[in-house]
Chain A
Amino acid sequence: NAGVTQTPKFQVLKTGQSMTLQCAQDMNHNSMYWYRQDPGMGLRLIYYSASEGTTDKGEVPNGYNVSRLNKREFSLRLESAAPSQTSVYFCASSARGLGNIQYFGAGTRLSVL
């Protein structure tokens, strides 16, 4: 009953450091998404992958890269972290059809000092 699993749950980085946020889903979903959530801004789409082998930019892609490793896994990489990237990051997945409901992970809380 795992659904969408994100690792790590918490991370503190120094400016300029790099890291990769991991996301895996066990629901056999085709589409996966990365969002960031900031106070007063709501959830904003960073990147998405409509299907295995494809990725596209969302609303706020600058400073991030993604990899759709296989159907289950979708990672988000910060190459050179900046304080503006301090946020809570959520991964989501959805199936085609069935109302295309997006199911979310528990989030990664990232602080960049």
Chain B
Amino acid sequence: EDQVTQSPEALRLQEGESSSLNCSYTVSGLRGLFWYRQDPGKGPEFLFTLYSAGEEKEKERLKATLTKKESFLHITAPKPEDSATYLCAVQATNSGGSNYKLTFGKGTLLTVNP
């Protein structure tokens, strides 16, 4: 069974204080690892997909990295508008046929104070 564990559950930062969120996963074969951002009262918004160990992707103050067992979402010099819940999800190669199911972690609630 595919499993995704995110830590910490909640993180408070001061504006400009860089940090990282962790996503550990167990999957028989990884097709892709996804990061989403979710604002209160809204649906998840896609950020990144990573496919193989060593891969990195960046978008503004966010950088996602991937190893064989975990992914990190690095936040550099965060601003209050970066406050949100960040979700990690994995897609397994054994999802079967044309289906591409995602298994989600419970998320990390990030609060950035001004």
Q: Which residues of A contact B (CB under 8 A)?
A: 4, 30-31, 33, 40-45, 48, 50-51, 56, 58, 90, 92, 94, 96, 99-107
Grouping DSSP codes into helix (H, G, I), strand (E, B) and loop, the B interface class, with mixed when no group exceeds half, is loop
B44/A45 in contact, CB under 8 A:
no
If A41-B106, A43-B44, A106-B42 touch, whether A99 touches B32 (CB-CB below 8 Å) is yes
A31/B99 in contact, CB under 8 A:
yes
Q: How far is the CA of A102 from the CA of B104 in the complex (A)?
A: 12
Q: How far is the CA of A105 from the CA of B45 in the complex (A)?
A: 9
B44/A90 in contact, CB under 8 A:
yes
**Minimal Cβ-Cβ distance residue in A for B99:** A50
B49/A104 in contact, CB under 8 A:
no
Partner of A40, one of B42, B46, B51, B106: B106
A31/B104 in contact, CB under 8 A:
no
Partner of B98, one of A30, A40, A99, A102: A30
Q: How far is the CA of A96 from the CA of B39 in the complex (A)?
A: 27
A106/B99 in contact, CB under 8 A:
no
The total of Cβ contacts below 8 Å across the A-B interface reads 61
Q: How far is the CA of A101 from the CA of B45 in the complex (A)?
A: 10
4 smallest CB-CB distances across A and B, nearest first, come from A104-B43, A42-B106, A43-B104, A100-B100
B residues 60-114 touching A (CB-CB < 8 Å): 87, 89, 91, 97-102, 104-107
Residues of A within 8 A of B97 (CB): 50
Q: How far is the CA of A90 from the CA of B36 in the complex (A)?
A: 14
A42/B102 in contact, CB under 8 A:
no
Residues of B within 8 A of A102 (CB): 34, 46, 100, 102
**Minimal Cβ-Cβ distance residue in A for B31:** A100
Residues of A within 8 A of B100 (CB): 31, 94, 96, 100, 102
Residues of A within 8 A of B41 (CB): 106-107
A103/B46 in contact, CB under 8 A:
yes
Contacts beyond the supplied A102-B46, A104-B36: 6 A-B pairs with Cβ under 8 Å: A43-B44, A43-B87, A99-B51, A100-B31, A102-B100, A107-B41
A100/B46 in contact, CB under 8 A:
no
Chain B's nearest CB lies how many Å from the CB of A89? 10
